Amino acid sequence: METHRELCREQQLIILFSRLTFTPEQTERVAELISEGIDWFLLLRYSVKNKVLPLVWHHLQSQGYRQEVPLRLGQIMNFYKLGTAERNQVYLRELSLVASAFGKNGIPCVPLKGAYLIPQMYKDRGIRTVNDMDCLIRKGDVKSVRSIMQGLGYVEGEYDKKTNTITPVNRERALLWQTNMNNLLPFLKLHDSEYAPVTQIDFSFSLDLELQKEPVEIMITGAVKDADSGFHYLNPAHFFIHQCCHHYKEASNASWVALNSDLNLIKFCDVREYILRFMNEEQLRNAVAFAKDTGLEKAVYFTLYYLKEIFDDGYEEQLLQEFEFSDTSFLYTYGQKDYGHTVAWKKGFWERLFSDTNKDELQKDAKYAAILQES
């Protein structure tokens, strides 16, 4: 079991609460940490940075520690969880409409990340936040996807919070995005909701910035349609692979560092819980084999390595030994795609994980930052 005694109590507690599945020893450790005294405002800060605030509050409530939290702070946490549930409800309704429209046009709608994990794994719609909903598509379906989304009232554009308007992207940015990114421009739609004034749906046709189409073709071909929802669900090995690729892309590219999206605990929680709940040893080995066959080994190794660092559930080391890397410096570097060469992190993993921002690490403007533009 992980101990992380070198971290402060608040950081240790955040790690323990960044999960759905607990051992008795972990539950006991939660009690020990809280009895020793917690700076609840610092805990709030770390929770927000790691996108686990509603999950942390859920555990504080369900494990009987609500009274330990200062009243006003507890109200903030509770309202955030309630608002998250309302926001996710809007998003999931929209995604259901998208799945229906895709089905009528014979196109698979394959939900990824929170779009799948909230209803299928987290269950409680208030404990997992989203900025958008993500789906996987074939590159050959791009034209049809655009037409369908426009028919549903979506615009490939940028949202102005001040005026509550969506402006279609200009031709220059559209071309820049099209030639560099592994997904379409975000599709946006306005709503009469205080919790979700705009919904954003993203469609990926490749797993990373190498822009390979073949792995996605294999994944979608193997996806199984759910008769009730209309969604096509990836098999567990493929879903896990996508999680790893998404994780590694954001952790190793300077542009996502600039957007403060490089590291957070909710991503690791997503993968950890998915493995424990939906995968067996054979499926994990299938995932490793798929990664080797498609050149995605670094993404999987990176994810497993840091899952072991954070959670150490016992299965990670055996899988890590399946890989034969002579050089694992990619675990500690970033920026190849942005700068044309890698840069070693100055901060260690734990410091980066709990820092408000890691922008201070960046050497210069990142290639993809101007394309992404924080919305």
Per-residue pLDDT of the chain (375 residues; tens, 9 = 90+): 456 879 999 999 999 999 999 999 999 999 999 999 999 999 999 999 999 999 999 999 999 999 999 999 999 999 999 999 999 999 999 999 999 999 999 999 999 999 999 999 999 999 999 999 999 999 999 999 999 999 999 999 999 999 999 999 998 888 888 888 899 999 999 999 999 999 999 999 999 988 899 999 999 999 999 999 999 999 999 999 999 999 999 999 998 998 899 999 999 999 999 999 999 999 999 999 999 999 999 999 999 999 999 999 999 999 999 999 999 999 999 999 888 899 999 999 999 999 999 999 997 766 666 566 544
Contacts of 244 by beta carbon, 8 Å cutoff, 6+ apart:
271, 291, 296, 299, 300, 302, 303, 304
Q: Where are the beta strands (DSSP E) in 153-214?
A: 155-160, 165-168, 187-190, 198-204
CB 279 within 8 A of CB 66: no
Question: Cα separation of 225 and 219, whole Å?
Answer: 13
- Polymer length of the chain: 375
Question: Cα separation of 134 and 61, whole Å?
Answer: 30
Question: Cα separation of 260 and 275, whole Å?
Answer: 26
User: Which DSSP state fits 182?
Assistant: S
Q: What is the pTM of this model?
A: 0.95
Amino acid at 85: A
Burial of 350 (0-12, 13-18, 19+ CB in 10 A): middle
Burial of 229 (0-12, 13-18, 19+ CB in 10 A): middle
Which residue, chain included where needed, has tokens 């992380």?
Answer: 4
Contacts of 7 by beta carbon, 8 Å cutoff, 6+ apart:
15, 350
Question: Cα separation of 63 and 71, whole Å?
Answer: 17
288 Cα distance to chain centroid: 20
Contacts of 21 by beta carbon, 8 Å cutoff, 6+ apart:
272, 273, 276, 277
Which residue, chain included where needed, has tokens 């998208």?
Answer: 98
Q: Where are the beta strands (DSSP E) in 208-271?
A: 224-225, 232-233
Question: Cα separation of 371 and 156, whole Å?
Answer: 14
